[in-house]
Chains A and B, each alone.
Chain A
Amino acid sequence: MSEVDTTTNAGQLLAAASGGRRRLGDRVFSRTAVVAAVTILALLAGVAIFLVAEGFPAFTAGASELPEGKSFIDYAAPLAFGTILASLIAALVAVPLAVGVALFITHIAPQRLALTLGYLVDLLAAIPSIVYGLWGIFVLGPAAVPVLKWLEEKLGWIPIFEGPASATGRTMLVAGLVLAVMILPIVSAVAREVFAQTPRKLMEGAQALGATRWEMIRMTVLPFGRSSVISGAMLGLGRALGETMAVTIILSVSGAVTFNLISQANPSTIAANIALNFPESSGLAINALIATGLVLFAITLVTNMAARAVIARQNHE
Chain B
Amino acid sequence: MESATLTRPTTLLSGGLGWRRRAVNITMTVLITAAFVLALIPLISLVFEVAKRGIPGLSLEFFTDDARGQIGGGGGASHAIVGTLVITAVASVISVPIGIMAAIYLNEYGEGRLRRALTFFVDVMTGIPSIVAGLFAYALFELFLGPGIRLGVMGSVALSVLMIPIVIRSAEEVLKIVPNHLREAAYALGTPKWKTITKVVLPTAFAGLVTGVMIAVARIVGETAPLLVTTGVVDSMNTDPFNGRMQNLAVYAYNEYRSPGVFKQAAYDKAWAAALTLIAIVMLLNVAARLVYRRYKTEIR
Contact = CB atoms under 8 A, between A and B. Distances in A.
Interface of A: 1-5, 10-11, 13-15, 17-18, 21-22, 25-26, 28-30, 32-41, 43-44, 46-47, 50-51, 54, 96-101, 103-105, 108-109, 115, 117, 119-132, 134-135, 138-139, 181, 184-186, 188-190, 193-194, 197-200, 202, 205-206, 209-215, 217, 219-220, 223-224, 228, 231-232, 234-235, 237-239, 241-245, 270-271, 274-275, 278, 290, 293, 296-297, 299-301, 303-305, 307-308, 315, 317
Given A50-B139, A126-B283, A25 B195 contact: yes
A255 to B, nearest CB: 21
B173 A220 contact: no
B85 interface: no
A32 B100 CA distance: 11
A127 B3 contact: no
Given A219-B7, A308-B119, A97 B128 contact: no
Contacts of A239: 126, 219
A266 to B, nearest CB: 18
Contact of B286 (A103, A122, A307, A315): A122
Interface in B167-224: 168-170, 173-174, 176-177, 179, 183-184, 187-190, 192-195, 197-198, 208, 211-212, 214-215, 218-219, 221-224
A45 B66 CA distance: 39
Given A40-B164, A210-B17, A271-B130, A119 B300 contact: no
| Residue of A28, A193, A217, A278 most packed against chain B (CB within 10 A) | A193
Given A4-B187, A101-B35, A193-B174, A130 B254 contact: yes
Interface string B51-78: 0000000000000000000000000000
B130 A37 contact: no
Interface residues on B, range: 35 or more
Interface of B: 1-9, 12-13, 16-17, 21-22, 24-25, 28-29, 31-36, 38-40, 42-43, 45-47, 49-50, 97-99, 101-102, 104-106, 108-110, 114-115, 117-133, 135-136, 139-140, 161, 164-166, 168-170, 173-174, 176-177, 179, 183-184, 187-190, 192-195, 197-198, 208, 211-212, 214-215, 218-219, 221-225, 229, 249-250, 253-254, 257, 275, 278-279, 282-283, 286, 290, 293-294, 300-301
A124 B12 contact: no
A167 B280 CA distance: 34
Given A234-B126, A244-B225, A37 B118 contact: yes
A181 B42 contact: yes
A223 B38 CA distance: 24
7 contacts: A3-B187, A37-B115, A44-B124, A126-B283, A128-B222, A210-B17, A215-B25
Q: What are the 8 tightest A-B residue pairs by CB atom distance, in nearest-first order? A: A128-B222, A100-B35, A300-B127, A14-B190, A238-B126, A29-B194, A304-B123, A126-B282
A134 B49 CA distance: 10
A30 B131 CA distance: 34
Contact of A189 (B50, B117, B170, B282): B170
A30 B102 contact: no
A41 B38 CA distance: 39
